[in-house]
A and B are shown apart, each in its own frame.
Chain A
Amino acid sequence: DTGVSQDPRHKITKRGQNVTFRCDPISEHNRLYWYRQTLGQGPEFLTYFQNEAQLEKSRLLSDRFSAERPKGSFSTLEIQRTEQGDSAMYLCASSQAGVAPSYEQYFGPGTRLTVT
């Protein structure tokens, strides 16, 4: 178990550019979540997948954001036409739903996005 990994750890981009982040969950976990965290706030839920199906999307996920989880393994989060307000830490988490014990979500270290 190597934990949840995210790539890149840091990304600086100019306003208007597209960016893509990757999350590799713990291998046997069927649920994968994306959260966004701005400075001084708790993380905010964006979306989650069960296997390859995207089951819920937050209202925070505007149409500039898209997330995928092909084959139910790694996931990508793409932001198109970035805005300065997109600057935040993007966190990924995974868990095993439906199998006891399944108490916790494991979070990755996050990708810090800075839009200049």
Chain B
Amino acid sequence: DAKTTQPNSMESNEEEPVHLPCNHSTISGTDYIHWYRQLPSQGPEYVIHGLTSNVNNRMASLAIAEDRKSSTLILHRATLRDAAVYYCIVMKTSYDKVIFGPGTSLSVIP
């Protein structure tokens, strides 16, 4: 699976948009980009995934670069409950094992 690079930590003010970047320059043409997040003292939870086109769901949006070497997870209005570690993962299939990196620890400031 392709490696991903994310900032170690980011901060956001409450109710402002947050853009969480991820680089995956070795991604292959059929790899999916997944995002999971892990709230404190909980197991990870799925956020969103995509292949080529930008994706939206009730939790977030995923913007994928045209060359697919990077992507950005967008939280439209950060809340205190969004404070978590966000993991960007590249996977061949959605149900393959997940190889987690260190992720980005997001702090939300009231």
Contacts and interface: CB of A to CB of B under 8 A. Distances in A.
Interface stretch (A11-19, A64-72, A90-98): A90-98
The binding surface of chain B is classed by DSSP as loop
Contact of A105 (B98, B101, B102): B98
Interface of A: 4, 31, 33, 35, 41-45, 48, 56, 91, 93, 95-98, 102-110
Given A42-B102, A93-B98, A95-B95, 10 more contacts: A31-B95, A35-B98, A42-B103, A45-B98, A95-B94, A98-B95, A104-B94, A105-B46, A109-B42, A109-B43
Nearest to A40: B102
Contacts of A105: 44, 46, 95, 98
Q: How large is the interface on B (under 10, 10 to 19, 20 to 34, 35 or more residues)?
A: 10 to 19
24 contacts: A4-B43, A31-B95, A33-B98, A35-B100, A41-B102, A42-B87, A42-B100, A43-B44, A43-B98, A45-B97, A45-B98, A45-B99, A91-B43, A93-B44, A95-B94, A96-B95, A103-B94, A105-B44, A105-B46, A106-B46, A107-B43, A107-B44, A110-B42, A110-B43
Interface in B91-110: 93-95, 97-103
Contacts of B34: 103
A103 B46 contact: yes
Nearest to B94: A103
A103 B98 CA distance: 12
B49 interface: yes
Q: Which 7 A-B pairs have the closest CB atoms?
A: A42-B100, A107-B43, A104-B46, A97-B95, A45-B97, A95-B95, A103-B94
A109 B44 CA distance: 8
Nearest to B98: A105
Nearest to B99: A45
